[in-house]
Amino acid sequence: MKAGIFFTGTGPILILTTFDSLADDKIIKKLASKGVRKFIAYEAPLDLVREKYGTYFTTIAGDLNPEDDLRVLDYDGHNVFENFCFEELGPPIFQEPE
């Protein structure tokens, strides 16, 4: 499982996923089907996300299929942005439609 912060046109969202990478083509297609075609994503440490979201994390993580699934953990952009320091995040992943 991975956690990622996706900075989109409407603000950041926090996603949990069972994909191997935040740049997986299937994630990109799933997000595009929801209108998110352009984003900058950063992997967030799973233990830190678990610590910050507690029981809610456990509930959403338990709803994930074991393979190739994703769920939005937090769509309140202000909350996501304020919950994490940039130095806690992995390198950026840039996605733009062709």
pLDDT in tens, 12-65: 999 999 999 999 999 999 999 999 999 999 999 999 999 999 999 999 999 998
**For residues 26 and 54, what is the distance between their CA atoms, to the nearest angstrom?**
28
**For residues 82 and 76, what is the distance between their CA atoms, to the nearest angstrom?**
10
For 80, half-sphere exposure in the C-beta direction (CA atoms, 13 angstrom radius) is 23
Whether 83 shows a pLDDT value over 90: the answer reads yes
Write the DSSP symbol of residue 20: S
- Mean pLDDT, residues 80-91 taken together: 96
Contact yes or no for 36/97 (Cβ under 8 A): no
User: pTM score, two decimals?
Assistant: 0.93
In this prediction, residue 66 carries a pLDDT of 86
In this prediction, residue 38 carries a pLDDT of 97
In this prediction, residue 67 carries a pLDDT of 86
